Amino acid sequence: GHYCPEGTDQPIDCAAGTYGILTGLKNQSECLDCDPGSFCVTPGRTSPDGDCQAGHYCRSGAAVAAPTDGVTGDVCPPGHYCPTKTADPFPCPVGKFLATTGADDILDCTDCTAGSYCESHGLGAPTGPCKAGFYCNASSSTNMPTDGVMGNVCPEGFQCPEGTHTPEHCPKGTFADVTSYAECLTCPKGYYCGTTRTVEPTLCPAGRYCPAGTTDVIPQCPPGSYNPHSGVTNMTGCTLCDGGTYCPTAGMTSTGPACDASYFCLSGAINAQGGLGVLGGASGDCPSGHYCPSGVVKPKKCPIGTYFSGTSATAVTDCVNCDGGKYCPEAGQTESSLNCSAGHYCTSKATISGPIDGVTGNVCTKGHYCPEGTTVPINCPEGTYSNVLGLSDCTSCPEGYYCPGATVDPIICSNSYYSPNGSSTCTICPAGHYCPTNTTAEIQLNTTYRCPAGHYCPEGTGEYPELTNHTCPKGHFCVEATPLPEDCPPGTYGPNTGRKSAAECTICPAGSFCVGGQAEISGKCREGHYCPQGSSNDTAIGCPPRTYRRYKGARNHHDCNICPNGYYCPGSTDDPLDCPAGYYCIVGTAEPESCPIGTFSNTTNLKDYIYCTACPAGKYCEGFGNIKPSGLCDPGFYCSGSSFTSSPPDTTGGECPKGGYCNYGSSYPSTCDKGTFNNYIGGRTQEDCYSCPEGQYCAGSNRPVPSGPCAAGWYCTGGAFLPTQHEVGPGHFSLSGASAPSPCQPGTYQIAPKQASCAPCPEGNYCPNTAMQSYIPCTAGHYCPEGTDQPIDCAAGTYGILTGLKNQSECLDCDPGSFCVTPGRTSPDGDCQAGHYCRSGAAVAAPTDGVTGDVCPPGHYCPTKTADPFPCPVGKFLATTGADDILDCTDCTAGSYCESHGLGAPTGPCKAGFYCNASSSTNMPTDGVMGNVCPEGFQCPEGTHTPEHCPKGTFADVTSYAECLTCPKGYYCGTTRTVEPTLCPAGRYCPAGTTDVIPQCPPGSYNPHSGVTNMTGCTLCDGGTYCPTAGMTSTGPACDASYFCLSGAINAQGGLGVLGGASGDCPSGHYCPSGVVKPKKCPIGTYFSGTSATAVTDCVNCDGGKYCPEAGQTESSLNCSAGHYCTSKATISGPIDGVTGNVCTKGHYCPEG
C-alpha cells in the first residue's frame, strides 16, 4: 500500500485511485490503478475501497465511487445503463434507446419511437425516421421493415412519407397503384380519382374534363359547350356549341337544339337567344343591319337598298327600304344616313347616290330641282326655271323674261314691260324709260332704253320717244330718263320746248325776276331793290344801306342811288328820309348822326356834321348848346365845342389827329375824304391826305392808315373806301387783298360772282379751259373724277357707253365672252378666243390671269365667245387644258367613276364592293351598264372593273364584298367563288382560312365531332389504345402486351405521334399486360432488369444475399446487412422473418451480403 523511493525514512502512501498489493514498491508508478468497476478513495490501500456506484461507471484508477472526470469514469451516458460495479456502460439493445444519463438498469431503455427505427445498440435517440414508402411500428430496428411486426411496405392506395408509423390513405385526387409510395401520385390528366385509397384512376367521362388531380368533383363542360368523348384533360377539350344551336346545361355530350329566330349562334351559345357562356364564342341578339332566321349560324346582312336600325330581325322582310332622299349602297346598313346626290332624287330603296332606274329614283326632271337628299323633285320657285335634267338648283329667270313656279323655259315679256333677272312676272315700263321690245331687260332700262334728254316718257312707254309726242314742255327741262318734266329752276325761264337740262333754261335778265317753271319772265324788280341776273323774286336784293331806288327794274346795286345830303337811307329804301333836327346826314347815310358836343343845331336836313353849329368856327365855347362861340381855335388844332382854349388839350378839341386836317379856327378836325388816309398828326389841309393804295381800302373818314386788305371775291384798284370796291365776275376768283381778278384754272370753274376760290370741276364732268363759268359732261368711253381738265380713258378690260362717268369703277367691265383691249372704248373689241374663257373684264382675247379669264381648265371645253367654261358631262373627264369642243371630253376610265360635270380626272376609284365599267358616273353602280354590286362569291376591292373570284379559303355570302371573308374557324371553303362555308368534318380540324386541303388529326389522336377549329381539338388516343392513321374519328384497338399506352399512341407498341403523349416499351422494373395504360411496378422483393415484361410473373425474386426494398427495381444491388442473411425475395437489409432471411444464428457469422 506504499512505495519507498531511495532515502525514504517512512513509507509513502499509494495515492487515491491506486493501491499496492506488493511490498518493496519504489515509486508511485509501481502502485496499481484502482480496478475497473471499483474505486480507491483512501491512500495507502492494499485493495479497492469498494464497488463503483450504480448509475456511474468506473474505469481503471477511479478515486471516488461516482467519478465524473470522464477519465477514470463518469455518469452513465445516454443509450446505456450502469448497474453497481460497472466498468463500461452497457448499451441498450437493438430496437431501443435511452435519452437520459445515469441509468442503472436495462429496464430504463425504452422501445424505439413508432415512425422511427433504432438500428444499433446503445442509442441515445432513434437512428432516424422510417424510410419513405414504409411504415415503422414501435421497437423497429430497420427503416424498411417488411415483417408486419416492426412495420411493413406501404400498401397500394396508401402513402407513407418519411417517419410514417401508420400508412395514410391516398386523398381524393391521388392514387397509389403499387406498394411503397412515399407520396400518392397526382391523378393524371384525363382521369379522376374519386375516393380515398384509390389504386387505379378512372377514365374521365364524356361531357366532363379532368385536369391532373381531379377528385370526385369532376368539372363539367360549361353551358355553351359539349364533349362527346371520354378522357378530356382540360376545358379546351370542350367544344363550343355548334353554329345555329345552343347548349343550355353543363356536361352536355352533344350539341343542343336550334337557336331561336332573331338571334344568331355562331358558336358557344348557352340559350336559344345566343347568350354566351364562360368559354365565349360568337353569338347573341341579331345585330342592327342584319336578320336571323331560326338556327342561323351567322347574321345575314340586309341587302343593299335596305337597312334595319333595330335588333332581332327574323327575316329579310324585316329589312326596311332605304328612306326617301337617301341611298343605302352597302349590305348590312343600320340606317339610311347618306343623302341622295344633288341633281337626283331617291324615292325608296335606292342603292346609289344618283339612281336613274325610275323605280328607286331618277335624274331630276325639267322644271324642278333636286338638292342633296331629295325624295321627289321640287318645283322651281317663282323667278327661276330648269330646262335640263339633273339640276340641283334652278336657274334665275333671265332679264326680259318671266318665270312662274315650275317653269321649264322662260316666257317672253311684251313691249311696254320689262323684267329684271329672277322675275316671276313682268313689270310695266317705269316713267323715264321706254320698253320697245318683247324682251326688255332691267339693265337695258339703265343703259339703252333711257328716255333721251329733252324728252319725257310716262309709265308704260313702249316705243322710241319722238319730239312730236314726248317733247319736254316750255318752262321745263327733261334730263335723260326723267320720269316727269322738271321746272326750270327759280331764276330761269323756258321760252322753248325740248330743253335737256337746267343749264338750257334761260337765265332771268338783270332787273327782272323769274319764279321758275314759267315760259316767260315773271316781272320787274320792286322799288328799293335790285335783281341781278337769275333772280327768282321781285325783292331779290335790297338796295344797300346808304342807297335808295324810286323806280322798278334795278339790275344791280349801281342802279341804287346814294342817299343825298340831309337824308338817310336805312336799306331797301325806295325814297330817302328827312334828316331830323339835332342830327346831320351826309351823303350815303344809313342812319342819322347826332351833332357832336361843342356844336349846336336847330334845323332839319343837315347834310353833314359840319353843318352842326359848332362853337363858332375856329372858336371855342364853354359847355354844350352854345349859340355862339367863345373864340377862335388855333391852326393845326380844332375846337370841337365847349373848348376853353384855342389849342384845347382835351376831348373838346386838340391837336389835329392822324386821318384829318384842321384849318385855322377849326371847330373840329376835317376828315380826309373816303378813299384817303393821313398818318401824320397836325394836318392843316386836304393836301395832307393820301389816296388809299391798290389792294387796300380806306373806309369812312379820319383814317390814319388803310382799313385793311380788299375782301376776297373783290378787288381794289386804288382809292377804295370799301373792301368791296369791284366784284369778281363768274369764271374768276380773288384772294383777300387782290388788285385784279384771277381766272379759274383748267379743271376748275366758277358760276357765281364775288368768289374767293374756284370750285373743282364736279365728278362726271371736265373743265378744259381757264376762266370757265360751267362744266362739260364727261364723254362716253371715259371717266372724269373731280377736278378733271381732260376726260380719262376707261382702262383696257372696260368700256363706257354712258357720258358723265365719275371714275374707273363706273366703266363697265368688258362683257363676259368678250375682250376689251383698247382704252376708251364704248363697246368690247371682240369675242373671246376659242380654248380660253373670258369672264367680266377681260383685256385680251386669250386671258391667262385666272381673274378675267384663263386657258380652258381640265374637265371643260371653251368654244369661241365662252364666258364660263362648259363642263364635260357626267361620266366623262378631260385631263388637258385649252379644249374648245365637247368631243375633247373622254369616257371615264373603267374601274373609276366620274360623278359630276367638269372633271379633270376621274372622281376616284370604284367603291370597294362594286365594279365600274367605262363611263360610270357613280362609284356604286347597280344598273348593270355602268357596273354593278359585286356578286356573291366574288370580291371587288377599290377600283375594280371586273369582279375577282373569291380564292380558296375565303367566301362571300352576300353581295358587295370589297374583300372576301376568311373562311371561319371550324369551316372550310374548298373552291373558288365560295358563297357559304362548309362545316369541318369529324377527324379533321379547320383553322381560319381552311381551303380544300383540310388538316387531319395526326396519328396518335382522333376527333369524333365536326366543326373543330385547331389541332388542340384533336383528342390524344385513349389510354391502352393506339390510333395508327391520321383523320380518325374514334380511338383505336388495344396496345400489345409488353408495351404501355397512357395516351397518344400511334401503334400497338406505344409509339408517339406529333402531339406527344406517354407511351412506349414497358420499362425495366415494370411489367405491361395487353391494353395497359401505365406500366405496373414489379413488387418489392423483386426486380426486372430487362424490358417488355408482360406479367408480374416476369418479375424476378431478389437474389440471395441481396434485398430489394422498393417496387419497380431494375436490379438487386443492395447487400444484406452484416449480422443477417438474405435467402431470396428479401425486402429489408436485416430480415428476421425466417422466410426471406434472418439474424445470423449462433455458431455462425454473417458478413455483409
pLDDT confidence of 623, banded at 50, 70, 90?
low
What confidence tens digit (pLDDT) does each residue in 696-723 have? Answer: 998 887 788 888 999 999 999 988 889 9
Averaged pLDDT of the chain = 90
When pLDDT is averaged across residues 45-51 and rounded to a whole number, the result is 94
**Greater pLDDT, 878 or 1092:** 878
What confidence tens digit (pLDDT) does each residue in 762-819 have? Answer: 999 999 999 999 999 999 999 999 999 999 999 999 999 999 999 999 999 999 999 9
When pLDDT is averaged across residues 22-43 and rounded to a whole number, the result is 94
Best CA proximity match to 547, nearest among 580, 577, 525, 523? 577
**φ/ψ (deg, to 5) at 544:** -70, 155
Q: What one-letter code names the amino acid at 911?
A: K
What confidence tens digit (pLDDT) does each residue in 50-75 have? Answer: 999 999 999 999 999 999 999 999 99
pLDDT of residue 625: 46
Radius of gyration of the chain (CA): 73
**Greater pLDDT, 567 or 1076:** 567
Helix (H, G, I), strand (E, B) or coil at 48: coil
Other C-beta atoms closer than 10 Å to the C-beta of 1037 total 12
Best CA proximity match to 110, nearest among 124, 120, 129, 130? 124
Other C-beta atoms closer than 10 Å to the C-beta of 1138 total 10
| DSSP 8-state assignment for residue 443 | H
pLDDT confidence of 155, banded at 50, 70, 90?
very high
The set of residues, in sequence order, having a beta carbon less than 8 Å from that of 469 and lying 6+ positions away, is: none
pLDDT of residue 165: 93
What is the reported pTM?
0.39
Angle (nearest 5°) at CA 817 between 814 and 821: 45
Least confident of 609-613, 751-755, 1113-1117: 609-613
pLDDT of residue 218: 95
**Greater pLDDT, 1079 or 914:** 914
Helix (H, G, I), strand (E, B) or coil at 30: helix
Angle (nearest 5°) at CA 121 between 119 and 124: 90
**φ/ψ (deg, to 5) at 97:** -155, 165
When pLDDT is averaged across residues 308-319 and rounded to a whole number, the result is 90
- Per cent of the chain over pLDDT 70 is 97
pLDDT of residue 632: 82
What confidence tens digit (pLDDT) does each residue in 827-884 have? Answer: 999 999 999 999 999 999 999 999 999 999 999 999 999 999 999 999 999 999 999 9
Above 50 in pLDDT, residue 1126?
Answer: yes
pLDDT confidence of 607, banded at 50, 70, 90?
confident
pLDDT confidence of 1059, banded at 50, 70, 90?
low
What confidence tens digit (pLDDT) does each residue in 572-593 have? Answer: 999 999 988 877 888 989 998 8
CA-based torsion, 863, 869, 873, 878: positive or negative: positive
Tell me the residue length of the chain.
1153
**φ/ψ (deg, to 5) at 1066:** -65, 125
Above 80 in pLDDT, residue 283?
Answer: no
Least confident of 613-627, 679-693, 953-967, 1019-1033: 613-627
Quote the strand ranges of 271-394, DSSP E.
Answer: 282-285, 290-291, 300-301, 306-307, 320-321, 326-327, 338-339, 344-346, 361-363, 368-369, 378-379, 384-385
Above 60 in pLDDT, residue 900?
Answer: yes
Q: If you count DSSP H runs as helices and E runs as strands, how many of each does the chain have, helices first?
A: 2, 110
pLDDT of residue 80: 95
What confidence tens digit (pLDDT) does each residue in 728-741 have? Answer: 999 999 999 999 99
Whose cell is 334795278? That residue is: 554
What confidence tens digit (pLDDT) does each residue in 1099-1123 have? Answer: 999 999 999 988 889 998 899 999 9
